[in-house]
């Protein structure tokens, strides 16, 4: 299944680095986009929604490019605590209506 | 608020055994979901419910059944477990429409079928 694709990584960066993740989606009619964070052996948690105009939450910036059907997540000034897997999530139409499709995730490891 | 809780946290089954996974939420959410997560596969939707007494199939429903007799509970059943059902199972709930509201996840159940 390739509706939502992410680079699995791992991305290994030092503290303070800036790192960017991309995610592509296949359904041009998708309307809702999210980034979830999943720590090792824990449940996913919403990091931020992605809006058409782009949005920022502290060190995190999400961008949406509808023409190219990709979403990005930029993390500035990386912290050790940012180490996790980041899941790109997109809504997609299926026979039952719409559903959220989770990407396989991009793993980030921040080292001191 | 406990949020979303799952019981049990770990379980080992033998092929052919049955079991029920329990999910409970105290946020008065209408929508509830069961996912499985396997290495290299990401989260895949098994079944979901849009309200008490309703259930619907997700992407990978075969081998599972569900029930939503009470709004706060969503049960996932395995009638005859198979090794292919070894996975981490996550329950989630959301306030509204499946695709536009934040989903809150439980801590997961790690199931091994031998």
Residue of A nearest to B107 (CA): A43
What's the pLDDT at A20? 96
Q: Is the Cβ–Cβ distance between B57 and B47 less than 8 Å?
A: yes
Pairwise pLDDT comparison (B37 vs B101), residue with the higher score:
B37
Pairwise pLDDT comparison (A92 vs B53), residue with the higher score:
B53
Q: Is the Cβ–Cβ distance between B105 and A34 less than 8 Å?
A: no
Q: Which residue has the tokens 């299926």?
A: A94
Out of A98, A100, A105, the one facing B103 most closely (by C-beta) is A100
For CA atoms A52, A53, A56, A61, the dihedral sign is positive
- Minimal C-alpha gap between B81 and chain A (Å): 23
Q: Does A91 touch chain B (CB under 8 A)?
A: yes
Q: Does B40 touch chain A (CB under 8 A)?
A: yes
The CA distance from B102 to B110, in Å, is 23
pLDDT exceeds 70 at position A93 = no
Average pLDDT of the segment spanning B44-64 = 93
- Minimal C-alpha gap between A9 and chain B (Å): 12
Q: Which of A34-38, A49-53, A96-100 has the lowest mean pLDDT?
A: A96-100
What's the pLDDT at B6? 98
Q: Does B56 touch chain A (CB under 8 A)?
A: yes
């Amino acid at each position: 299944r390739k509706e939502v694709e992410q680079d699995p990584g791992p991305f290994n960066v030092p503290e303070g680095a800036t790192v960017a993740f991309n995610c592509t989606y296949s359904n041009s009619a998708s309307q809702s986009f999210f980034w979830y964070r999943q720590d090792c052996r824990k449940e996913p948690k919403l990091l931020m929604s992605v809006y058409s105009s782009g949005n920022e939450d502290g060190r995190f910036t999400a961008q949406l490019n509808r023409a190219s059907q990709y979403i990005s997540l930029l993390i500035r000034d990386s912290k050790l605590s940012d180490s996790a897997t980041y899941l790109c999530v997109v809504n997609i139409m299926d026979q039952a209506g719409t559903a959220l499709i989770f990407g396989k995730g991009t793993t980030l490891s921040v080292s001191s | 608020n406990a949020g979303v809780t799952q019981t049990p946290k770990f379980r080992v089954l033998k092929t052919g055994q049955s079991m029920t996974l329990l999910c409970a939420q105290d946020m008065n959410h209408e929508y509830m979901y069961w996912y499985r997560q396997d290495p290299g596969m990401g989260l895949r939707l098994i079944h979901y419910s849009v309200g008490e007494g309703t259930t619907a199939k997700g992407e990978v429903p075969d081998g599972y059944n569900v029930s939503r007799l009470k709004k706060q509970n969503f049960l996932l059943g395995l009638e005859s477990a198979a090794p292919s059902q070894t996975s981490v199972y996550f329950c989630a709930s959301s306030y509204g429409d499946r695709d536009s509201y934040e989903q809150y996840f439980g801590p997961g159940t790690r199931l091994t079928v031998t």
